[in-house]
């Protein structure tokens, strides 16, 4: 059984923000305390040991099932490098290319967390980017098991997935991680990481009709109303909890407009060495040529988690969102709940995933379902990204993430990394050439020898406020040590 230590609360979002403001720089090295075991779900049996045999597997749904992995058949003989994509410029209104029909006749933006969507291309390219390591350019599952390491769980149907240590950047296992696929609303992690630092959380904006123009049919929305004012904090909660494309448009307006925001996002992706990503819309809504990858989405999450407000918003379970302002009437508010099912536990057999602290889910017609999550057990933090599961069952993207997290926590220290999450280009002494590659025997050395750039590789994740959910409560306490000189 895996259980978190009972640590006293250390740090708070307000303290962290004040500290960051005082130093003028993000604290690239950090960590957080274990989530208390007194959460609203039972402690999960996990992956501290493997059980063998059908009887043992039937006894507990939380045990991992051994799998002899095999690479999928290949059909595409050529890669689809980012450089080959023609440039796509959004219109000032953010109009998008036709994303194709959905099951209900429209261009579906289904960010309700249910986990059912349409499918993207069925086979990966035979050759992909090797940013982060040579093995990451190969199609199919990549894992290097050592003595005592568990086998990968069975039944993983995600077109692309990745398990990485959030602090060291080591990639424990990967599958088609550089396959360029539609990202859905997980692209909002890049939007937030790009725009959030530019807008003070207390700044307010009164919405005018032009702010909401160009939203695609079926877009997810939090309920922003024309003529009403909202704080930046309100809008970010709308983005993270309800994946509100309306909130994204207002924030993009405050950032100078849709075209500028798209340009800013693309530039930031390139700075992060997220070279599989081509941005067309700031909200992730389906658009021609808009793609990302499991590798890049994990880079966006890891970069975003360096920011106190990002950590707060992505780990918030529920909040109150301002209602419409009406003359002569008191302004009401309404509850919004995060659509991340591993954070809330809604619809999940095992309830909330123990130690889950974000990050972002998404679902569109072209992308299917995507999810990047971060969780901690016993001091170890893991990031998992899953893109577009083939299995058509409710919450499948969360189920596969759950199993990969279980596997990762058991496998950590028993597998040889298959690659690395590279630091940004601007990280001092990042030890990379122009391509940021690292992998195989050189993967660990490339980060260990990165000098001050190594401070970037340690992720600290700050949580949201204490939130009651049903009969229980979910709270994440974090600490954020000083960076090394």
Give the active site residues. 185, 188, 243
From the number of C-beta atoms within 10 Å of its C-beta (0-12, 13-18, 19+), residue 299 rates as buried
**Angle CA 156–160–164, to nearest 5:** 90
């Amino acid at each position: 059984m895996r259980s978190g230590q009972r640590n006293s609360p250390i740090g708070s979002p307000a303290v962290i923000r004040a500290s960051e403001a005082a130093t003028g720089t993000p604290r690239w090295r950090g960590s957080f305390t274990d989530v208390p075991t007194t959460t609203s779900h039972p402690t999960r049996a996990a992956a501290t040991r493997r059980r063998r045999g059908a009887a043992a597997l039937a006894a507990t749904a939380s045990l991992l099932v051994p799998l002899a992995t095999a690479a999928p058949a290949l059909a595409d003989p050529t890669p689809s490098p980012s450089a080959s994509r023609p440039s796509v410029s959004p219109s000032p209104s953010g109009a998008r290319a036709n994303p194709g029909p959905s099951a209900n006749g429209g261009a579906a933006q289904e960010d309700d967390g249910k986990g059912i969507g349409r499918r993207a291309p069925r086979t990966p390219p035979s050759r992909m980017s090797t940013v982060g390591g040579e093995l990451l350019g190969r199609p199919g599952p990549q894992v290097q098991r050592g003595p005592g390491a568990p086998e990968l769980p069975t039944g993983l149907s995600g077109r692309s997935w990745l398990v990485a240590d959030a602090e060291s950047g080591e990639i424990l296992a990967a599958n088609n991680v550089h396959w360029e696929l539609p990202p859905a609303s997980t692209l909002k992690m890049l939007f937030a990481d790009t725009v959030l630092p530019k807008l003070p959380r207390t700044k307010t904006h009164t919405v005018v009709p032009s702010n909401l123009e160009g939203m695609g049919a079926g877009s997810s929305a939090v309920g922003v109303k024309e003529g009403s004012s909202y704080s930046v904090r309100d809008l970010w909660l709308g983005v993270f909890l309800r994946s509100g494309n309306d909130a994204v448009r207002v924030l993009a307006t405050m950032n100078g407009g849709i075209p500028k925001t798209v340009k800013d996002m693309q530039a930031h992706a390139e700075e992060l060495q997220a070279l599989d990503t081509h941005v067309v819309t700031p909200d992730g809504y389906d658009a021609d040529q808009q793609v990302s990858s499991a590798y890049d989405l994990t880079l966006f999450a890891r970069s975003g988690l360096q920011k106190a407000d990002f950590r707060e918003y992505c780990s918030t379970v529920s909040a109150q969102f301002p209602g419409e302002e009406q003359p002569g009437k008191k302004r009401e508010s309404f509850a919004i709940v995060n659509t991340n099912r591993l954070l809330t536990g809604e619809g999940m057999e095992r309830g909330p995933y123990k130690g889950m602290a974000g990050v972002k889910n998404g679902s569109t017609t072209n992308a299917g379902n995507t999810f990047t999550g971060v969780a901690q057990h016993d001091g170890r933090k893991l990031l998992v990204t899953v893109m577009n599961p083939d299995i058509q069952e409710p919450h499948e993207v969360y189920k596969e993430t759950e199993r990969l997290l279980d596997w990762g926590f058991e496998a950590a220290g028993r597998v040889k990394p298959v690659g690395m999450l590279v630091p940004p280009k601007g990280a001092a002494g990042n030890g990379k050439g122009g391509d940021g590659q690292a992998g195989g025997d050189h993967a660990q050395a490339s980060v260990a020898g990165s000098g001050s750039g190594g401070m970037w590789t340690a992720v600290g994740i700050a949580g949201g406020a204490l939130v009651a959910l049903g009969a229980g409560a979910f709270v994440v306490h974090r600490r954020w040590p000083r960076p090394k000189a």
